[in-house]
Amino acid sequence: MAEGNVAADQLRLFIERIERLEEEKKSMADDVRDVYAEAKSNGYDTKTMRKIVALRRMETHVRQEADALLDTYRNALGLA
């Protein structure tokens, strides 16, 4: 079949794009792991570091949610 199965080809391309992205994602995760290992070899406590990272992420998230709530109030009250 010279024209190929277009739909199947398209699906395959989508799948491959996803798999490629997931490989990159995994690569990033591995890099994170390496940084923790490097920090550990420099005498830092990784458990503490992980909690710091988690806390900072949560605080950022809370801030964003608070802003979103404020926007919701404004809209509910018709204040621009």
The region that residue 40 occupies, defined by phi over 0 for left and psi between -120 and 50 for alpha, beta otherwise, is alpha
Rg for the chain, CA atoms, rounded = 23
Min separation Cβ 33 and DNA, Å: 4
Give, as ranges, the residues between 15 and 74 that touch a copy of itself (CB under 8 A). Answer: 15, 17-19, 21-22, 24-25, 28-29, 31-32, 35-36, 38-39, 42, 44-45, 47-49, 51-59, 61-62, 65-66, 68-69, 72-73
Give, as ranges, the residues between 30 and 49 that touch DNA (CB under 7 A). Answer: 32-33, 36-37, 46-47
| Cα–Cα dist 54/62, whole Å | 12
